[in-house]
A and B are shown apart, each in its own frame.
Chain A
């Protein structure tokens, strides 16, 4: 298994702490070793609008920090993931920019080489840990849980750079959800934007986009909307509450982080995953009990044996 530096970004430690806790717990359970680099900076994503040089340097510095330690990068955020990866792609073709950046980085004895692998939590789980191992490590499975899987734009697109999954009909995240026994349902706006990028720039637009996704997922019968990005999480969590207050539209469709969804089935206590089961509100009251309705894994066992045998 590759060695990774965990890139937490700016939002998670302040606004979505449970993501860090649950991701670490899950990675630990699945024997993925992650190191911490406390000198990481912002990935630069927000700067992209007004100063691409600032974005490139910010991303490159993080990559250089990982490279200096011989580590690869594992991000938890779609936007950090997209920002770092598109920056790496840009620097691959723009030698001038790379030289300029290395000149700045050399002041702190860093060098951007572009050899570091940049991965997202989901791609590591799917491609390196593999679904098979995950299934083996789960202790039981969800009995009746419908999940609206939300991919997050910047992981999927631009697909020629991100190489995360098929941009039109992706399956990676759905597979990861299904392996927990939950059902990743079909819904039309699965691949659309959560609305976060324009909150603060055009609030009405942002809230509209979030509402559309919530309406669509709810209509498709989702119990939870499953995300793996702090921006999306914040949008479906606190901004959903705000929509309920400001616009009077209540969807009661709580978000759940994939690391939480999987963590429970790996036998990690909900306390360690940051799932606040003692919350009492309309948004979660119907959905949360479903997280604890489980069944034995038995049903799938014979199938698995067959598969291993045939391989031999």
Chain B
């Protein structure tokens, strides 16, 4: 009764959770793919997409994906053998237990006419599957907490996933073990299946079970005669043997029973069988009820992601479906951190300390971002930095075991930020911006350099470019030797001091040469910048476009007769501006 109520309520909660998830998938807009379409429009597009896939050749991609990528975790196998073994053990152990044991009345009873959970092979198999999961979990714990896997982090969901599966399996073994030794269980079973009338017969059976079936009895049965045991065996053969294999077959539960046997009395007294039973059942039901909101939901979303990536191509898929797929992909990520350990730019995390640089952590942040549209501006900027600090090597997408098209997700989210005019990071002024311009046609990005232009004018405003700034005191004719500028600017170079304005750098600069009126386009020319630095007029140079339009070809530096390291000084100035100018940008933009 209680079981049914609990089962039904957990199934109801699960149902509600699934509906909420589907609503989320059809309403979230993480990238640029969906604008203001209604949920119904997205649902219609999704159904159309599914139907057109069913009636197309692409449909034949699915069986292969199902067998290789989902049942045999091919993508994980390619990455890491130990992790593959771990996941195969947990996945297959749990799935087999689910069908054979949890759904026994639906599956096993109908499949095998002789099915009883207490006879072989089922008794043995149940423990085998349980042991598979347990070994898998031990490997998982070992990997997460003892192996130093590069850039692997564990969040609450990761720990929950290990815990919930662990509790279910361990309580299962506990239940089995306490049941084997339980005298009350024995009496109940005897009552139900043997219904013996005479005390002697019960005692005989009990003695036989103590001797051969691991039962712990409160009675003194140490000196039972051979005859009694023979009688016990006879009764056993009549009433028990048909549906009860020796408990040693359930090797896990049997091992537990041996460990528990000395405490059989206490365990009986506290009702350990019931305790284990309820822990086991409740863990299952709770896990089931909140499934859609936990990491374990990946048993649904990851296959979904693998299926969609097997049949969906960006070129011909509806943009609405891409938006929906991206919403599903946020849920399909299991935070395995494979992407982060393969990420080309991950070392930048060690310097900048922004975990959003690592794709797996950025995925988690985007998930939070999509559920709560309001996040702190600091978090928002951190996500931006992460998403713009990408060399577009696409390794994350290639290695993702869940088949998530990460590169498109990054691209669409970044595009979304850019179109909203909310991109504020100096990273748009680096060659990391190249890919957006280069792949314009693939991703339909108009005005490829607009974020950089905005950033440049932002820097210009910050440093009062073009405005006359009154000075407190006249500049000394000979620059002060200990002037603070070099240190203030964080410059390790002071070779600008040797500049005598021969203008070689400016004359050889291909960027200067490109403009009819270079001083208008670039604000300041290389030699002017060097000379200004030498005069202590650092504030003059900081807003200049020249710094960012520099192609870093090193012609100026190579051709300087005074060995002024022009390009290297540019780099240092740019570094300094990036740190200083974008530090408190959230207030300004």
Contacts and interface: CB of A to CB of B under 8 A. Distances in A.
Interface of A: 10-11, 13-15, 41-42, 44-54, 57-58, 61, 79, 94, 104, 108, 153-154, 156-159, 167, 192-193, 195-203, 205-206, 208-209, 212, 231, 234, 238-239, 242
B430 A47 contact: yes
Interface stretch (B126-134, B234-242, B251-259, B569-577): B569-577
Contacts of B433: 199-201
Given A54-B352, A198-B549, A205 B511 contact: yes
B427 interface: yes
A94 B568 CA distance: 15
B430 A50 contact: yes
B578 A10 contact: no
19 contacts: A10-B391, A41-B343, A45-B431, A49-B430, A49-B431, A50-B578, A51-B352, A157-B553, A167-B558, A199-B437, A200-B433, A200-B435, A200-B448, A201-B429, A201-B452, A202-B449, A202-B453, A205-B511, A231-B434
Contacts of A46: 391, 430-432, 434
Given A49-B574, A158-B567, A153 B553 contact: yes
A205 B549 CA distance: 8
Contacts of B393: 10-11, 13-14, 42
B405 interface: no
A50 B551 contact: no
B438 interface: yes
A193 B551 contact: yes
Point out which of A46, A157, A242 has the most chain B C-beta atoms below 10 A from its C-beta.
A46
Nearest to A45: B431
Contact of A159 (B391, B510, B558): B558
Point out which of A13, A202, A234 has the most chain B C-beta atoms below 10 A from its C-beta.
A202
Interface in B331-355: 343-348, 350-352
B28 to A, nearest CB: 28
Interface string B47-74: 0000000000000000000000000000
Given A42-B391, A239-B438, A50 B346 contact: no
B426 interface: yes
A142 B548 CA distance: 42
Contacts of A15: 438
A212 B166 CA distance: 66
B527 to A, nearest CB: 18
Interface size class of B (residues with CB under 8 A): 35 or more
Contacts of B574: 49-50
Contacts of A47: 345, 348, 389, 430, 432
Contacts of B567: 158
B71 to A, nearest CB: 27
Given A10-B391, A158-B558, A49 B571 contact: yes
A193 B553 contact: yes
A147 B150 CA distance: 46
B514 interface: yes
A82 B394 CA distance: 23
A303 B460 CA distance: 63
Nearest to B572: A52
A215 to B, nearest CB: 13
Contact of B554 (A61, A157, A202): A157
B178 interface: no
B549 A54 contact: no
B573 to A, nearest CB: 10
B351 A158 contact: no
B429 A14 contact: no
4 smallest CB-CB distances across A and B, nearest first, come from A200-B433, A157-B554, A10-B393, A153-B553
B578 A51 contact: yes
Contacts of A154: 552-554
B532 interface: no
A234 B430 CA distance: 17
B392 interface: yes
B350 A57 contact: yes
B430 A158 contact: no
B555 interface: yes
B578 A203 contact: no
B553 A192 contact: yes
Given A50-B575, A58-B345, A200-B431, A209 B551 contact: yes
Interface residues of chain A: helix, strand, loop or mixed (majority): helix
A153 B552 CA distance: 8
Contacts of A51: 348, 351-352, 575, 578
B436 interface: yes
Contacts of B511: 205, 209
Nearest to A195: B551
Contact of A108 (B150, B343, B352, B431): B150
Contacts of A212: 514
B349 to A, nearest CB: 9
Contact of B551 (A11, A156, A167, A198): A198
Given A41-B344, A49-B571, A50-B429, A10 B436 contact: no
B347 A44 contact: yes
B76 interface: no
B557 interface: yes
A209 B434 contact: no
B551 A54 contact: no
Interface in B148-190: 150
B7 to A, nearest CB: 48
Contacts of A209: 510-511, 514, 551
Interface in B417-442: 426-438, 440
Contact of A200 (B352, B394, B434, B552): B434
Nearest to B441: A242
Point out which of B437, B452, B514 has the most chain A C-beta atoms below 10 A from its C-beta.
B437
Nearest to B452: A201
Nearest to B521: A205
A103 B560 CA distance: 36
A49 B552 CA distance: 9
Given A49-B426, A197-B552, A41 B434 contact: no
Contact of A42 (B345, B351, B352, B492): B345
A298 to B, nearest CB: 42
Contacts of B389: 47
A53 B510 contact: no
Given A10-B344, A49-B578, A50-B429, A201 B548 contact: yes
A205 B344 CA distance: 28
Contacts of A205: 511, 514, 549
A41 B510 contact: no
A208 B440 CA distance: 18
Given A158-B554, A201-B549, A202-B549, A14 B426 contact: no
B350 A202 contact: no
Nearest to B565: A158
Contacts of A58: 345, 347-348
A159 B429 CA distance: 26
Nearest to A41: B344
Contacts of A196: 431, 434
A124 to B, nearest CB: 22
A181 B352 CA distance: 50
B348 A202 contact: no
Point out which of B150, B436, B554, B575 has the most chain A C-beta atoms below 10 A from its C-beta.
B554
A197 B551 contact: yes
A57 B553 contact: no
A192 B510 contact: yes
